[in-house]
Amino acid sequence: MLLVFSLMACSDPSNSSSTSETGASPSGSSPVPTNIKDGDSEVSPEPSPVPGSESTSPLAQLPQLQGKATVVLQVKGKPITLAVNGNDAPITAGNFIDLVDKGVYDGTAFHRVVREPSPFVVQGGDPQSRDPNFPIQRLGTGSYIDPDTKQPRYIPLEILPEGAEQATYSKTFKSAGVSKLPKLQHTRGAVAMARSQLPDSASAQFYFTLADVGFLDGDYAVFGYVTEGMEVVDQIQQGDRVESAKVTSGIENLKR
């Protein structure tokens, strides 16, 4: 029997009233932890190139992290330290760091926790969850609304293949015909963006992987890894909240 889970994310950018799901089978995934990436905040002299970097390009209007940064989340009174990699995922990482710096994640709830039949993901970051009266069963469709434009911000799917200089944008590896693995993979402790079926529908919601879940590689954008506090992630329950989220190093690498 095929067991299917979905990474429910922000609402479809082409239809704000609809909710989409992307399925992924956990069969064959390994719960064995692998190496966690370095949290160094050093600036890379040559971050992954971003297409359409001209000032008139829509991509140029998005925040970019040109280097690395460190974020500390307080959950259940304990810290979770994240190494955020803007060298290999500049737009995805830049979006996350920008939202952390704006305080968007403070008070948000983890609305989806999947540990059975095997460890999978902990998902949160829906801005709607800051309202304590918003039903947790309805979470998973919220996006970040830019206060200046009053419009939701969506970012393109951005995945860098191993050994490549250019990331694949707006397509999964399968649809783009990419046969390599991503440079940033879904090992235990990965932090990635949730999305709907549309590749360019990620906004604010993110998830932690509780095990090696390589079947998600090439479909979702990893942008960092837990370097400390994975034991806290392992204890998160549905409804637990991000008490605070702070950029502790690397904010100077954020280009808005």
Domains and CATH numbers, the chain: 35-46+62-255 (2.40.100.10)
Q: What is residue 11's predicted lDDT score, i.e. its pLDDT? A: 40
Bigger pLDDT: 148 vs 11: 148
Average pLDDT over residues 199-222: 98
Identify which has the larger pLDDT, 165 or 60.
165
Give the pLDDT confidence score for residue 2 in this predicted structure: 29
pLDDT tier, 13 (very low <50, low <70, confident <90, very high otherwise): very low
CA 185, CA 220: separation in Å to the nearest integer?
A: 9
Summarised one tens digit per residue, pLDDT across range 124-133 is 999 999 999 9
pLDDT tens for each residue of 160-209: 999 999 999 999 999 999 999 999 999 999 999 999 999 999 999 999 99
Percentage of the residues of the chain whose pLDDT score is greater than 90: 76
Q: What is the mean pLDDT of residues 59-64?
A: 89
Is the per-residue pLDDT at 30 higher than 50?
Answer: no
Q: What is the pTM of this model?
A: 0.82
Q: Using the 8-state DSSP alphabet, how is residue 198 labeled?
A: S
Inter-residue long-range contacts of 123-129, CB under 8 Å, 24+ positions, other chains counted: 123/7, 123/8, 123/194, 123/205, 123/206, 123/207, 123/208, 124/205, 124/206, 124/207, 124/242, 125/194, 125/204, 125/205, 125/206, 125/242, 126/10, 126/204, 126/205, 127/204, 129/241
The whole-chain average pLDDT of the chain stands at 84
